[in-house]
Structure 1
């Protein structure tokens, strides 16, 4: 997706430096300047990350100065996109007296996360952490309520609640919800979270139907480019990727551990033909583009157990690195996240983890009961006392599932890439999303210490392009099932050659 803000960067910097003058009336101008000075103030605690404040300012600049209405920010997983949304909502409430905000999400997993962040009753309510409302504006905070669109839920809250949160299917399949939004809400602000899903046919149709009502639409995603070559029809005004986030120590660093190809020979079984295939013979691109269903493939028993043994060694190592709390217990519990090729493969892997490696395992797939999916969403609330040691999935938990204590990722599937038509750089949707599940830091405010995620990846999957794109470090030499991790082989964190942007 093309970066559209380049031509405006110079004028934007001047606008910031000259005190945020806007083409507004005196009262609105005063409120806008007070809002922007508030987020710049050293007393704004905890402080916004630089890219968060930059995002909020660019949205304001594009809307107020440039007159743009369809915007997109690309922010790495763990970069705090919800805080940016919260900042924009607060600005529009304070300066423009806007009180209708629709947050669209692609699935119930993302919806559950945003419910925690935008529900006033939640312990993680974003406005209880970040003081976007200040002095005489705090009364506006008391007016915020959240309506969640669900099946069999009375849609009357759509009319009364300032913030409406909905899985997109609840809008275009639940016609009552859409009719109320179109006929009763008038103008509103739309936030399109995980916006790379926008080009799905129904998603696109819904956004077009709501276009006449939208005051402004902000798309947020870590991966705007899709493997089908499509992307949202908005203007990308900010890019904050993994390289910069690592430099800023906002996310964990990645350490890739690979077995010896001769000692661990990765093969898969075709359940339709009974044939055993080398990893190189599996039609990965057709699987990723959904031309071939992956259900017919499972990982062969021996290499599956061998790689689980390596992942177990990584998990044990991570446990030894955890600092102790005042009660003498670890401050948090590291977890293993396993990515299978198919549901049958995931079930088989989960059984081996549970029965042979004695790791209490949660299996989450499209076939899982709602209770199991809800358990997956609850894990982040139990950093110290999670009942599980491992979570196994296919691709269901690749976006919106944010569990800080994922410390080891084990890959049993290959990811593919395409070339960005504007930059020529390689990009991956699934690869970046899956690895992103392990990048959120336990303590993002502690810039003095690195946190790390170990990834077990077989060399024959040929993911070097992915590790280069993610600036991952490599464990020194092979790591095989019968070997302990040698701390001396874990490289020192490298300083990335990136000049920070200073506005």
Structure 2
């Protein structure tokens, strides 16, 4: 039960905060809005609206406080090393955030301590309000004659009852609901190290020593590849205890790497389009002889398998981790089909299927029923891990109508000018501390983005722009218009690498970009710190 508020925090152009809040420690209170521009501090964790996180949190807290009973010697050493020792990086004290700690601890608790191998007993154990009354279940699991399971329950996020599909039996799937910017990549690295060393030190086949990280697009992939390339993340940060580094033998395979995988110890990072494009075509026998004898063997038996998926299917263990996993929630999607095909091709199936997303919801707006960790944006803002989305200026006008490429600047002029003026204020303040604020303007169409960028570039003297063609960056996919609709087509191969590099390196001190105008190409997986103002010009 949450107690009465003990502190009041006034909210006036400054971020709401909880005094002495440390993101490395477990939250003991949270903010609740209380009137216009005002928040109150309420004791206790922010309640989760997911199916069973609230009860599971309490169990994990008690297990942690009791010094992790039931873990392997390997896991205990890792937990002590990660969270109980001081780490110095580049002369500064490094500490994992509590949200990252809670994420790996919760997975260890369910997988290693409780040894669940299916989501159904997890739901039955930890689901809230499991019984409506003495005789009726509030959460019901049904199964069709074909073995498909459905969860019938109340959805607090929608304030209604409904049903959801559950993963097939013996396919252990968990989801981590973590705000963008809260360090999901670090959690992935923690999981990889934990599983890998338990596999080789404890000799337990439940743990995997092969890992596949799947990104939804190239932008997310490039961010992940930058972190994991050549095992960089594992050596730069305190993931591997010093005495164990000689045992670390992970081969990292990125896009374009056609070399064979190791028999064990692989980390494959790729985007889903590359994976399902590499799936072997279904074999259709042409004659009765072919049907009896099957697919003809390769002529060159020393040649490695043709596709990445063929290579993956030869592994004897595998954990799949989906980044931005809200993309994979319908069974008809190729992403889902690719993972299921991989699961069915492995002798013992996947060891774990893990989803990471800030919004792990289905298309109907319901949270995945296999979410085990909930670290929402509001908590990340309170912890000062991410920036708060604040509306600091309103234009007192109705939204414009009948917009076209000829009048877009005139129609949106007040909004554009307001954003630029705010950016100029930021620029003066940030310049004193050696930082570069970036203004991001989100346009509806490519032509609109071009017109807005041209307008801003013409203000170069007022804005202090020395090279407006470089400092004002337009990023979109090329398009053609058909009637009233704009149809996107692939951007040119010549421009794509340059634009991706510029967008990816916005935070770099050498990067000259100060203002970006885009038609939403960068809407997902684009994690940068320097964007301080966002202007959305969409209906």
* Inter-partner Cα distance in structure 2 for 1:380 and 1:255: 22
Q: Is the 8 A contact 1:158 1:180 kept in 2?
A: no
* Inter-partner Cα distance in structure 2 for 1:105 and 1:362: 25
Equivalent residue of 1:94, what SS? helix
1:185 corresponds to which residue?
Answer: 315
1:321 corresponds to which residue?
Answer: 429
Q: Is the 8 A contact 1:31 1:94 kept in 2?
A: yes
Choose which of 249, 258, 262 in structure 2 pairs with 1:154. 258
* Inter-partner Cα distance in structure 1 for 2:237 and 2:407: 46
User: How far is 1:87 from its partner?
Assistant: 0.5
Provide structure 1 residue ranges, at least 5 long, that are not aligned to the other structure.
24-28, 272-296, 325-329, 415-503
2:213 corresponds to which residue?
Answer: 103
1:11 corresponds to which residue?
Answer: 59
Equivalent residue of 1:119, what SS? helix
Q: Is the 8 A contact 2:395 2:414 kept in 1?
A: no
* Inter-partner Cα distance in structure 2 for 1:217 and 1:85: 12
The reply to whether residue 362 of structure 1 matches residue 473 of structure 2 is: yes
User: How far is 1:13 from its partner?
Assistant: 2.2
Relative CO higher for 1 or 2, CA cutoff 8 Å, sep ≥ 6?
1
Q: Cα–Cα, structure 1 residues 302 and 403, in superposed 2: closer, same or farther, change >3 Å?
A: same
Q: Is the 8 A contact 1:341 1:412 kept in 2?
A: yes
TM-score (norm 2): 0.63
Query: What is the 5 A alignment of 1:233-312?
Result: 235-262=370-397, 265-269=398-402, 300-312=408-420
For structure 1, which segment, 399-408 or 100-109, has the greater mean C-alpha deviation from structure 2 after superposition?
A: 399-408
Choose which of 375, 384, 387 in structure 1 pairs with 2:501. 375
Q: Is the 8 A contact 1:74 1:223 kept in 2?
A: yes
* Inter-partner Cα distance in structure 2 for 1:58 and 1:312: 45
User: How far is 1:392 from its partner?
Assistant: 1.6
2:188 corresponds to which residue?
Answer: 85
Query: What is the 5 A alignment of 1:448-463?
Result: none
User: How far is 1:19 from its partner?
Assistant: 1.9
For structure 1, which segment, 347-356 or 214-223, has the greater mean C-alpha deviation from structure 2 after superposition?
A: 347-356
* Inter-partner Cα distance in structure 2 for 1:228 and 1:353: 40
Q: Is the 8 A contact 2:260 2:311 kept in 1?
A: no
Q: Is the 8 A contact 2:215 2:272 kept in 1?
A: yes
Give deviations 1:397-444, integer Å, cap 9, x for gaps. Answer: 122111111111111025xxxxxxxxxxxxxxxxxxxxxxxxxxxxxx
User: How far is 1:230 from its partner?
Assistant: 6.3
* Inter-partner Cα distance in structure 2 for 1:101 and 1:211: 13
Q: Is the 8 A contact 2:60 2:105 kept in 1?
A: no
Give deviations 1:269-313, integer Å, cap 9, x for gaps. Answer: 355xxxxxxxxxxxxxxxxxxxxxxxxx89733132322211111
Q: Cα–Cα, structure 1 residues 396 and 155, in superposed 2: closer, same or farther, change >3 Å?
A: farther
Equivalent residue of 2:328, what SS? helix
Equivalent residue of 1:320, what SS? helix
Q: Is the 8 A contact 2:442 2:538 kept in 1?
A: yes
Structure 1 stretches (4+) deviating beyond 6 angstroms? 158-161
The reply to whether residue 74 of structure 1 matches residue 177 of structure 2 is: yes
The reply to whether residue 402 of structure 1 matches residue 527 of structure 2 is: yes
Q: Cα–Cα, structure 1 residues 299 and 184, in superposed 2: closer, same or farther, change >3 Å?
A: farther
* Inter-partner Cα distance in structure 2 for 1:341 and 1:209: 38
* Inter-partner Cα distance in structure 2 for 1:344 and 1:164: 38
Equivalent residue of 2:68, what SS? coil
For structure 1, which segment, 61-70 or 369-378, has the greater mean C-alpha deviation from structure 2 after superposition?
A: 369-378
- Aligned-residue CA RMSD (Å): 2.6
Query: What is the 5 A alignment of 1:129-168?
Result: 129-141=236-248, 143-150=249-256, 153-154=257-258, 156-157=260-261, 162-168=266-272
User: How far is 1:16 from its partner?
Assistant: 1.3
- Specify the structure having the higher radius of gyration (Cα): 2
For structure 1, which segment, 153-162 or 36-45, has the greater mean C-alpha deviation from structure 2 after superposition?
A: 153-162
Give deviations 1:167-212, integer Å, cap 9, x for gaps. Answer: 1010111224354245312320111110001126111111222234
For structure 1, which segment, 332-341 or 36-45, has the greater mean C-alpha deviation from structure 2 after superposition?
A: 36-45
Q: Cα–Cα, structure 1 residues 161 and 363, in superposed 2: closer, same or farther, change >3 Å?
A: farther
Q: Cα–Cα, structure 1 residues 209 and 258, in superposed 2: closer, same or farther, change >3 Å?
A: same
Provide structure 2 residue ranges, at least 5 long, that are not aligned to the other structure.
1-48, 89-93, 118-171, 201-207, 280-305, 479-490
Aligned residue pairs total: 369
* Inter-partner Cα distance in structure 2 for 1:380 and 1:218: 30
